[in-house]
Structure 1
């Protein structure tokens, strides 16, 4: 139990502070390395130079990079996040079925499912099927107005 008396509370605080500072520095180092590779405006030699500087003189390299390119680093991070969000939104729209116009085959399959589930009668199915098939024979502008009236 003597160990608790040899390591007072203030020493524990300083140890934890240094530990978290090291973690923060490593997080910053890895974000900078990722930013170096993400930056399309840097040439291959520029990326190599920054990587050597950041890896050979880590503390100085990280601090100089943040001072020299910190603002553009934030802009690149935001544009990368927006591009990822746009890709995710596009994927969700595509998989949810809102990615484009429905074909007559899609509409007929949906109507058949509704009839099989008992949500529409055979007469309603026949009328809707005739409507879908007549839309495929008419021009797009006339078909769009007919489709909006039927819904």
Structure 2
């Protein structure tokens, strides 16, 4: 009796560690399942029937389906992910250029105003240059 009581309280930290390891592995598995399912729907080259087949395979036999998908389509999955990142980067760069272009106009107007204040250009030249900038 004493030995079984001792074993029940033996290494509680190790039990907590294994619980955390299992939780981590389940979270990794769920993330992998979600990424594969998202990739199935994101692929534009695959037909609807092929997508339905892969989805059924992944949902009916999850472990085998996920591993088969990663083996067969893993490289194209990485290519689609890289292409999506490039599109997002391009969109971000276009947004930054658009925003920076607006501030360039403000800088040009400030420089132009400084030139007029110093007497380097006349009021008529200032108005013409301002109209060019604001168009």
2:125 aligned with 1:132:
no
- Aligned residue in 2 for 1:83: 87
Give the 3 Å change call, closer, same or farther, for CA 5–114 of structure 1 in structure 2.
farther
* Structure 2 gap segments, 5+ residues each: 1-5
- Aligned residue in 2 for 1:110: 109
2:99 aligned with 1:95:
yes
Cα offset for 1:8?
Answer: 2.6
CA offset digits 1:4-58 (Å, max 9, x no partner) = 8266333222221111111000000111111111111111111111111111211
- Give the structure-2-normalised TM-score: 0.73
What is the distance in 2 between the residues matched to 1:9 and 1:46? 47
Among 8, 26, 31, the residue aligned to 2:12: 8
- Give the structure-1-normalised TM-score: 0.66
| Contact 2:39–2:77, Cα closer than 8 Å, also in 1 | yes
Say which SS state the counterpart of residue 51 (structure 1) adopts: helix
Among 69, 73, 76, the residue aligned to 1:72: 76
What is the distance in 1 between the residues matched to 2:122 and 2:39? 59
What is the distance in 1 between the residues matched to 2:18 and 2:127? 79
Say which SS state the counterpart of residue 89 (structure 2) adopts: helix
What is the distance in 1 between the residues matched to 2:69 and 2:29? 13
* Structure 1 gap segments, 5+ residues each: 137-151
Q: Which has the higher helix share?
A: 2
> CA RMSD of the aligned region, Å?
3.1
Count of aligned residue pairs for this structure pair:
121
